[in-house]
Amino acid sequence: METASELADVLELRLDYMEKPDIERLLERKPKPLIATNRPRREGGRFEGPENKRIALLEKAIDLGVEYVDIEHDSVGDFVEKAGAKIIVSYHNFKETPNNLKEIHSRLASTGAHIVKIATFARDITDNLRVLRLLEEASTLTAAFCMGELGQISRILAPSFGSFFTFASLDKGKESAPGQLTARELLEVYHVFKVNRETDIYGLIGNPVGHSLSPLLHNTVFRKEGLNALYLPFQVQDLSTFIKEFKCLDVHGYSVTIPHKEAIINLLDGLDPLARDIGAVNTIVNQQGRLIGYNTDSTASVRVLEEGLAEKGSSLQGKKVTLVGAGGAARAAAFGLRERGAEITIVN
């Protein structure tokens, strides 16, 4: 708790992870407000004992002065009548993001709990949009986000859409739900509490994207330059649906990586002549609602080689170049090399 309190505003005590929780001692030493959670197996937790024992631990936490208690939607019962702690009524779906989110939210809100929490599993990146829309329209205090790798962008954007909490792990490997980012990632890479509805959103389209350093690079530069901008990793499976659905977020621009550099072309509103000639796009600019594709791979890769050769008084003209790979980036490099008169061998 002491370590986590340096990063978080509120700490969650997962009593179901503890064999014999000493609640009194834990609450005596709390450095920040606490959420007491004792999640049963049916809702993705680890508590396996009798239901009355599970509830009794939460009631004890309330009696000892815990600030929040997270209770499952099927156990809330008379819990809201308990004085002294704010009640979070929660719904978890580890299989999907159901179509009836509004209905679920309405049912949870009707319990009289102080905060409604909804966490669903993202099977497609567009599921994030439905959760963010729910937050936007909610009239009660709500925390909502998607779980899983495809749901990470909702954890980053949720606070700017009105989510009362966003959850993070203290370290990698210590996640209490799939897809949780670490607190340091949320704060230091995505600057989550500086993001608002005026923030310009950019991102990387690819599959996979988890390995990419682009969010760290771009977000660091945005902060250094004082720009209210955010760069997100978009792991996209269905490219056509993504381009159509994410127009509602008004994303200002995209980087494009494998495997979408060529497939994206037919989904754009326009192409820069160089990108058209190469047949691959690595950059998209939103120009007043029209998505225009560009290719900077060719110019950049050739320029680096030319600068290096120029230092030795040479050029690419007539040079023999072996190109390893034949994807979108290789296509761009080959185009630029050929224009400069190089002889190319492609190995793939």
Rounded to the nearest 5 degrees, what angle is found at the Cα of 159, between the Cα atoms of 178 and 18?
40
* Per-residue confidence (pLDDT) for residue 82, from 0 to 100: 64
* Per-residue confidence (pLDDT) for residue 83, from 0 to 100: 63
What is the three-state SS of 87-115? EEEEEEECCCCCCCHHHHHHHHHCCCCCE
Q: What H or E segment, with its residue span, contains residue 320?
A: strand 320-324
Q: How confident is the prediction along the chain (348 residues), in pLDDT tens digits per residue?
A: 999 999 999 999 999 999 999 999 999 989 999 999 999 998 999 999 999 999 999 999 999 999 999 999 988 876 766 667 899 999 999 999 999 999 999 999 999 999 999 999 999 999 999 999 999 999 999 999 999 999 999 999 999 999 999 999 999 998 988 999 999 999 999 999 999 999 999 999 999 999 999 999 999 999 999 999 999 999 999 999 999 999 999 999 999 999 999 999 999 999 999 999 999 999 999 999 999 999 999 999 999 999 999 999 999 999 999 999 998 889 999 999 999 999 999 999
Q: What is the dihedral of CA 73, 74, 78, 84, to 10 degrees?
A: -40
* Per-residue confidence (pLDDT) for residue 345, from 0 to 100: 97
DSSP single-letter state for residue 199: P
Q: What is the dihedral of CA 320, 323, 329, 331, to 10 degrees?
A: 70
Distance CA 264, CA 273 (A): 15
Distance from the Cα of residue 90 to its chain's centroid: 21
DSSP single-letter state for residue 330: H
Q: What is the dihedral of CA 301, 201, 229, 176, to 10 degrees?
A: -100
- Positions marked active-site: 92, 117, 261, 297
Which amino acid is present at 70? D
pTM for the full predicted model: 0.91
* Per-residue confidence (pLDDT) for residue 76, from 0 to 100: 82
* Per-residue confidence (pLDDT) for residue 108, from 0 to 100: 96
Which of 188, 251, 184 minimizes the C-alpha distance to 220? 188
Distance from the Cα of residue 304 to its chain's centroid: 33
Token pair in block for residue 193: 């509490």
Which amino acid is present at 174? K
Q: Does the CA dihedral 33-155-114-43 come out positive or negative?
A: negative
